[in-house]
Amino acid sequence: MRIIVQRSKESSVEVNKKVVGHINKGLVILVGFTLGDNEEQITKMVKKIINLRIFDDENGVMNKSLLDIKGEILSISQFTLYANTKKGNRPSYIEALNGKEAIKLYELFNQKLKEFVPVETGIFGADMLVNIKNDGPVSIMLEEI
What is the model's pLDDT at position 145? 59
Q: Which DSSP letter does residue 38 get?
A: -
Provide the pLDDT for residue 140: 97
What fold characterizes domain 2-23+40-143?
A: D-tyrosyl-trna(Tyr) Deacylase; Chain: A; (3.50.80)
Catalytic residue of the set 79, 111, 116, 124 = 79
6 catalytically annotated: no
How many Å apart are CA 128 and CA 108, to the nearest integer?
21
Is residue 79 among the annotated active site residues? Answer: yes
pLDDT computed for residue 60 by the predictor: 94
- Cβ atoms of 29 and 136 within 8 Å: the answer is no
Task: For the chain, list residues with pLDDT below 70.
Answer: 145
Q: Which of the residues 6, 78, 109, 121 is marked catalytic?
A: 78
What pLDDT does residue 144 have?
76
Residue 80 annotated to the active site: yes
